[in-house]
Amino acid sequence: MDGGNNLQPMHGLDELEMQGRMTWIEARHGWVAAPDDVVEALSKDGFEECKRETTSSRQDLQPAGGVWQGVNPGTGSVASMVWVNQPRRTRALVFIAIDGESRQDRAFSSRERDPYMDDGGEG
């Protein structure tokens, strides 16, 4: 139910995160998610696939990872995703960028934008 008063509507990536299907791993500076789920979420946000490649350098011939790029024809924005499959895990380590800006967990990214937030304050 959208009242039209939000500046930014709910995005597919936000939905994935809220559903627990995309989890930020600060130690790895990336997300754990199923790459196909991320592609579907980006598609919901208007990105159309223009490149998708996988690598199969592992001995078991399973893809070691891949890259996906999409363009939103309405806005001209570019989304990029690189993923690395993790052995014996169903979800991959995923790195997402929109227009060259890394998509990070908001709690961590806001802290990283202002490293002095906790310093020098009166107590």
Burial zone of 116 (CB within 10 Å; 0-12 exposed, 13-18 middle, 19+ buried):
exposed
- pLDDT exceeds cutoff 60 at 92: yes
What are the residue boundaries of the structural domains of the chain, listed by start? 41-113
Q: Coil, strand or helix: which one is 86? A: coil
Q: List, for residues 102-120, the tens digit of each pLDDT value.
A: 998 665 544 443 333 344 4
What separation in angstroms does the CA of 110 have from each of 38, 64, 115, 118?
A: 22, 32, 9, 12
Banded model confidence at residue 9, pLDDT cuts 50, 70, 90: very low
pTM of the model: 0.74
pLDDT at residue 57, rounded to an integer: 66
Share of the chain above pLDDT 70, in %: 72
